Amino acid sequence: MAKLQRILLISGAAIVALCGVLVVHIALVTKDKGPIPHLANVQLARIDFLETLPEHEAHRLQNAISAMPGVQRAQANLNDRNIVYAYDRTQQDQRVVFAQVDALTELPCQRLVVTAEAAASGCPAMVKGGLHDGVGQWIAQLFN
């Protein structure tokens, strides 16, 4: 019986600690801090490939994009057939990056153009009306 109580106590403490970490994380992430100077002009962009992206080609394009002026980081996603990169809007334009990538590869590709509706919906990882969305909004309201 003592062993069961110990397991329940440790499990309960772990759950409380994880919930506490979650609340602190959401509070810090959702608190309006104003524009962060070094990130104010950083933008994410994505290039989608219409065919399978071979690993060697993905690494070649990833390195080429990363070497472009104003690009901070590029990441090839083989399973999703795309390359996501961060760039400084004051130094680079995503149309220029796309044109250079399109010229570097024979694979058909296209720029991701975010619709106004998608931009207004916020984080694309969150499903509107889902459990995570509801819990996140509730915790954010506690601290804002």
Q: What is the pLDDT along the chain (144 residues), one digit of tens a residue?
A: 788 899 999 999 999 999 999 888 888 777 766 666 667 788 888 999 998 989 999 999 999 999 999 998 899 999 889 999 999 989 998 899 999 999 999 999 999 887 777 666 665 555 566 666 777 777 777 766
Rounded CA-CA distance 105/20 in Å is: 48
State the amino acid at position 65 in one-letter form: I
Rounded CA-CA distance 8/91 in Å is: 55
Total-model pTM: 0.60
Domains and their CATH numbers in the chain: 2-31+123-143 (no CATH), 39-113 (3.30.70.100)
